[in-house]
Amino acid sequence: MRDVAIIGVKNTKFGELWGRSLRDIVVEAGAGALEDADVGGREIDSLYVGNMSGGRFIDQEHIGALIADYSGLSKNLHVPATRVEAACASGGLALRQAIMAVASGYNDIVIAAGAEKMTDVGSEEASSALAAAADREWEGMTGATFPGLYAMIARLHMHRYGTTSEQLAEVAVKNHKNGSLNPIAQYKNRITVKDVLNSIMVADPLHIFDCSPITDGASAVVLAPADIAHKYTDTPIYIRATAQASDTIALHDRRDITTLDATVMAAKRAYSMAKLRPEDIDLAEVHDCFTIAEICAIEDLGFAEKGKGGIVTANGETAIGSRIPVNTSGGLKACGHPVGATGIKQAVEIVTQLRGEAGQRQVEGAEYGMTHNVGGSGATAVVHIFSRER
Amino acid sequence: MASVPRFWRGIGSRYNLEGTRCNECGEYFYPPRNFCVNCRRVGHIEPYKFKGTGEIISYTVIHTAAEGFEDQTPYILAIIELDEGPRLTSQVIGNPEKIHIGMRVRSVFRKLGEDGEGGMIYYGTKFVPENE
C-alpha cells in the first residue's frame, strides 16, 4: 500500500444556490481543486463523486458520468467516473474510495468530489428524500422523520446522562460562531442559547436551530501518491487513516440508542491505522446534522467521556483555541449540509487548517486533524485522519 | 408515502405484529428477518406472533410531520422494546404530557396513513398505554 496525500482542495459557496445547477457547482469545485493542485485534465486517472439522492433532488441519476462529462473529462479523455452513495456519508465514502484507488497503486491522480443540490425541490420533498436514509418500511412508515430519530437519541441521552437542552444549544451557538468566520458558510449570523430554545420545536426536544439546514454545495479534493506530492504543492497533507463501519439501518435495532457503534468502530480502526490516540488529534470536523449528533460524536470518537459530551461542549472545550476544536468550518449546522458534499467539505476544512490557511478560524500549530461523516442515523460512519508531516 | 407494493408486502407483520424467531439462538425479530444476525447461515428461522406488550425506550413528539402525516401533528413517536426482546419504531396514542421512558404499552390496530385524498389507506400497529 502506498501513502496518499491531498494536493488540492476547493469548496463552492454553501447555501441556497437557486441560480445554479448541480453540474455548475461540481465543475467549480473540481476545477478549483485542480487549479489549487496545478494539475491538468490529462493527468487524472479517475473520479469519485459522493451524491446521496440526485434522483430525488434533481431527478437525475448517472451522476458520475454527468460530472465527468461537464468537467471535460469524458469526450476526449474518457476518465472513469464513479458515483458513491451512503446517504449523508456519501462524500466521506467517495474520499475513501479515492484513497484506496491511489493507495493500491491502480491510480495516481484521483479527484474525490461531493455534491448535492437540495433546493430544487420544496422542503417537504427534501425531507422525504432525506428520510429515505432511514428504514423506509419500518421507520418511515410510522411517521418517523430524521429530526424525530435524532430526537429519540437526544431524549434518551438526556434521561440517562442528564444532558440538557441548553447544552445541546451550545453546539449550535459554537458552530454558528465558527461559521461566521467561514466565507463559504450558509449562515454567518451568530446565535445565542436563548435563540435556539426559543426557536420552533421540530421534534421534541429538538428545535429548528438544533437541526442542520437544506443546502446546495459542492466540494472537491485532488489526491496523489505521497512520493510525488511535492511535485505539485509545497504543502501536501497526508492521509494517515481511512476507516469505515456499518450498523443496523434502523435506529431501534441498535445495541445502544445513544452510541453510534459504527462511529466507535470506525474511530477504533482509524486510530489503530494511524497509531494515534484521541488526545493526539488537534481538531476534528464531526457530523453535527443535529446538535445531539455532535455530542454523541465527541463521545464516540474519544474526545469526551460517555455521557459528558454536553458538559464538555458547554465548558467550551470544543471551541477554537481550546482543548479540541470541533467543527471549525461551522459544521453541518452553520456551514450547511449539502448531504453528498459534506464528507468532502470536512476534508477541505482539515486540509486548509493543517496548511495554516484558515485565517480567523485557524487552530494554531495543528498537526493532526480528523473527519467524521455519518450516513442516516448511524448505519454508516467514515473516519479519516490527516497529518501535516508525512 | 409508502407505495402500494411496499405496504402490501408487510401486511401480515403490520396487521398482526408477526415476526420471526431463531430456533438456534432463541432471538426474536420484528420486523421479520429470514436470516439470524447471530447465527447467520446455521440459524433456523420460524414465524412468531408477538404478544404486543412492551415498554418505551425513548420517544419524541413530532411537530413538523413527515409527508402524509401532516394532519396528525403533534404525534408521539417512540422506540418500543417488546417483552420478547426486539425493538420497533411506532406511534403511541396518548397524552404527550404523560408519556415517559419506561412506560408500559400495548399494541392496537389502527389506521397509519393514506396516499392522499381517495388514495390507499394503510393500517397497522400503534401502541397505547398498557392500562388503557
Q: What DSSP letter does each residue of A246-293 carry, written as one string?
A: E--SSGGGSS-TTS-HHHHHHHHHHHHHHT--GGG--EEE---SBHHH
Q: At the top level of CATH, which class does the domain B51-132 belong to? A: mainly beta
Residue A146 has which C-alpha cell? 430524521
pTM of the full structure: 0.97
Tell me what the mean pLDDT of segment A268-291 comes to.
98
Does B2 score more than 70 pLDDT?
Answer: no
Q: DSSP code of B45?
A: E
Measure the CA–CA gap between A215 and A123, rounded to whole angstroms.
11
Nearest to A295 by CA among A345, A331, A242, A243: A331
State which residue of chain A sits closest to B126, comparing Cα positions: A142
Calculate Rg over the CA atoms of chain B: 16
Angle at A13 between CA A101 and CA A170, to 5 degrees: 95
Tell me what the mean pLDDT of segment A289-297 comes to.
98
Does A17 fall in a domain? yes
Does B115 score more than 90 pLDDT?
Answer: no
Please tell me the distance in Å from A174's CA to the nearest CA on chain B: 25
Return the sign of the alpha-carbon dihedral for residues A138, B38, A259, A294.
negative
Q: DSSP code of A135?
A: -
Measure the CA–CA gap between B6 and A377, rounded to whole angstroms.
22
State which residue of chain B sits closest to A254, comparing Cα positions: B87
The dihedral formed by the CA atoms of A94, A95, A96 and A100, expressed in degrees to the nearest 10:
100
> A122-126, A143-147, B43-47: which has the minimum mean pLDDT?
A122-126
Name the band, by pLDDT with cuts 50, 70 and 90, for residue A202: very high
8 A C-beta contact, residue A360 and residue A274: no
State which residue of chain A sits closest to B81, comparing Cα positions: A252
Q: Is B98 exposed, middle or buried (0-12, 13-18, 19+ CB in 10 A)?
A: exposed
Determine which helix (DSSP H) or strand (DSSP E) holds A112, and give its type and residue range. strand A109-117
Residue A204 has which C-alpha cell? 421534541
Residue A206 has which C-alpha cell? 429538538
**DSSP 3-state of A68:** helix
Q: DSSP code of B34?
A: S
Domain assignment of residue A62, given as a range = 4-122+214-231
8 A C-beta contact, residue A159 and residue B58: yes
Which residue has 446534522 as its cell numbers? Answer: A289
Tell me what the mean pLDDT of segment A337-343 comes to.
98
8 A C-beta contact, residue A216 and residue A17: yes
Does A219 fall in a domain? yes
Residue A84 backbone phi and psi in degrees, to 5 = -120, 130
pLDDT at position B131: 85
Does A138 fall in a domain? no
Does B47 score more than 90 pLDDT?
Answer: yes
pLDDT at position A385: 99
Over the range A56-93, which residues count as b (16 or more CB within 10 Å of their CB) and which as e? bbbebeebbbbbbebbebbeeeebbbbbbbbbbbbbbb
- Cα A384 to Cα A95, A145, A208, A281, A309, distances in angstroms: 9, 28, 29, 11, 21
Number of inter-chain CB pairs under 8 A, A vs B: 111
> How confident is the model over A148-169, as pLDDT tens digits?
999 999 999 999 999 999 999 9
Does A108 fall in a domain? yes
* Catalytic-residue membership of A372: no
Question: For chain B, what is the mean pLDDT?
Answer: 92
A-chain CB neighbours of B57 within 8 Å are: 156, 252, 257
pLDDT at position B66: 87
- Region label for A151, one of left (φ > 0), alpha (ψ between -120 and 50) or beta (otherwise): alpha
Question: Inter-chain contact A136–B2, Cβ cutoff 8 Å?
Answer: yes
Tell me what the mean pLDDT of segment A57-86 comes to.
97
Residue A176 backbone phi and psi in degrees, to 5 = -65, -35
From the list B68, B75, B79, the residue facing A257 with the nearest CB is B79
User: Measured between CB atoms, does A365 come within 8 Å of chain B?
Assistant: no
User: Measured between CB atoms, does A202 come within 8 Å of chain B?
Assistant: yes
- Cα A328 to Cα A64, A124, A195, A347, distances in angstroms: 30, 30, 21, 12
pLDDT at position A374: 98
pLDDT at position B1: 56
Instruction: Find residues 83-122 of chain A whose CB sits inside 8 Å of chain B.
Output: none
From the list B10, B58, B65, the residue facing A143 with the nearest CB is B65
pLDDT at position B37: 92
User: Measured between CB atoms, does A155 come within 8 Å of chain B?
Assistant: yes
Measure the CA–CA gap between A152 and A13, rounded to whole angstroms.
32
Does A144 score more than 60 pLDDT?
Answer: yes
pLDDT at position B117: 72
Does A202 fall in a domain? no
The count of structural domains within chain A is 1
From the list A143, A202, A253, the residue facing B91 with the nearest CB is A143
* Catalytic-residue membership of A78: no
Which CATH number characterizes residue A63's domain? 3.40.47.10
Please tell me the distance in Å from A153's CA to the nearest CA on chain B: 7
Q: How many helices (H) and strands (E) does chain B have?
A: 2, 8
Measure the CA–CA gap between A222 and A38, rounded to whole angstroms.
10
From the list A142, A153, A155, the residue facing B89 with the nearest CB is A142
Maximum Cα–Cα distance for chain A, whole Å?
A: 60
Name the band, by pLDDT with cuts 50, 70 and 90, for residue B8: confident
Q: Who contacts B106 (Cβ-Cβ below 8 Å, separation ≥6)?
A: B52, B53, B54, B127, B128, B129, B130
Residue spans of the domains in chain B: they are 1-49, 51-132
User: Measured between CB atoms, does A253 come within 8 Å of chain B?
Assistant: yes
Please tell me the distance in Å from B131's CA to the nearest CA on chain A: 23
Does A47 score more than 70 pLDDT?
Answer: yes
